[in-house]
Amino acid sequence: MSDTLDLTQQLISRPSLTPLDEGCLHIIGQRLQAIGFKLEMIRCGEVDNLWARRGNSGPLICFAGHTDVVPTGPLDLWHSDPFTPTIRDGMLYGRGAADMKASLAAFVTSIEKFVAQYPKHEGSIALLLTSDEEGVAVDGTVRVVEALQKRGEKMDYCIVGEPTAVSKTGDTIKNGRRGSLSGTLTVKGIQGHIAYPHLVKNPIHLAAPAIAELAATEWDRGNEYFPPTSWQISNIHGGTGATNVVPGSVEIEFNFRFSTASTVDGLKDKVHAILDKHGLQYDLLWALSGKPYLTPRGNLVDAISAAIKQVTGIDADLSTTGGTSDGRFIADICPQVIEMGPVNATIHKLNECVAVADLDVLSEVYFLTMENLLIKS
């Protein structure tokens, strides 16, 4: 049995539902410690985090990921127990198989091979792992990054093992992600009987022209790597439930998925200017869950692209699509962050799976990337 397959199965068998780790970090930590890594467990609330490093010099390559998984959904709709790793028709089934226990296993086996082949390699290798990525993500990677910042510890390169492939492992590298900025807008009116419109101010009517303008606004045009910034309403709440009452307020929840062509302050200023232009009385609460980050073509993108080409023959595409990842936190202390992992077609779904043949492919890509950055550079 492939060593990467064996370790992936061990990790899948641990029911590490967010924010539980269920011993995954212990399994990984033991193997890393055996090849000279220094381990630092950072527990925050119910969340377990691991910072493991081998070496003291630069450059520092970090592999980052998470041991936690999303809930299984209805067990009777799984073809096998989600926490009993099962191979059928060349696919390994189990919750977390693709997101992202295959990548974690490949991290470990690639590093073991690299250290065995280059025991006195230049630079350093690290792993940053958390059990709090699929949930609220407030006590996970961000806390480790804060601890590293306080002591001035920085990374040169970071590979996040998120499942990025569209149809075949290696076909897509995420070299950035859009930011996420949410707002809760409450537009105020005057409640009253619907039959006496002169005595009321309908906040839904008042807000409608502003909503139309916000929806039609061009926030930016994007750039080489990012599509234009998007503003979308997710929820609107207004009314008492009665058909004869004009509501006193309406609450509108919206979100920006924004590129590096815009800034947080710039987006906020534009929204307030439009609301003020329409003379609304309103309250607006903002919540930033992630800034955008971008890694242009350079050492890391070139190294992993060459590794993918050597192992698979694929010329990987660069992409910034999708939601947020923990790369948004790591970018604060690392100038080059990318994501690369297995096919993402079944993540968060019933009967999540990963191709068994892709496990060693993934491990070899990570190995060659380290070789390209630490040995051949």
Number of alpha carbons in the 13 Å side-chain half-sphere of residue 319: 17
Active-site annotation holds for 220: no
DSSP element (H, E) containing 245: strand 245-246
Active-site annotation holds for 133: yes
The catalytic position among 22, 48, 68, 358 is: 68
Token pair of 67 as six digits: 């041991």
Q: CA–CA separation, 89 vs 373, rounded Å?
A: 36
The whole-angstrom distance between residue 127's C-alpha and the CA centroid of its chain comes to 16
List all residues 6 or more positions away from 120 whose beta carbon is below 8 Å from its beta carbon. Answer: none
DSSP element (H, E) containing 50: strand 47-54
Q: Which amino acid is at 13?
A: S
What b-and-e string marks burial along 256-273, b requiring 16 or more CB atoms within 10 Å of the CB? bbbbbbbeeeebbeebee
> ∠ CA(367), CA(370), CA(371), 5° rounding?
85
The catalytic position among 133, 162, 364, 371 is: 133
Cis peptide before 15 (omega within 30 of 0): no
Q: CA–CA separation, 169 vs 298, rounded Å?
A: 21
Q: Answer yes or no: are the C-beta atoms of 265 and 221 closer than 8 Å.
A: no
How is 142-201 classified by DSSP, letter by letter? Answer: HHHHHHHHHTT---SEEEE----BSSSTTSEEE-EE-EEEEEEEEEE-B-EETT-GGG-B
Token pair of 84 as six digits: 């009993």
The whole-angstrom distance between residue 275's C-alpha and the CA centroid of its chain comes to 32
Query: Could you list the active site residues?
Result: 68, 133
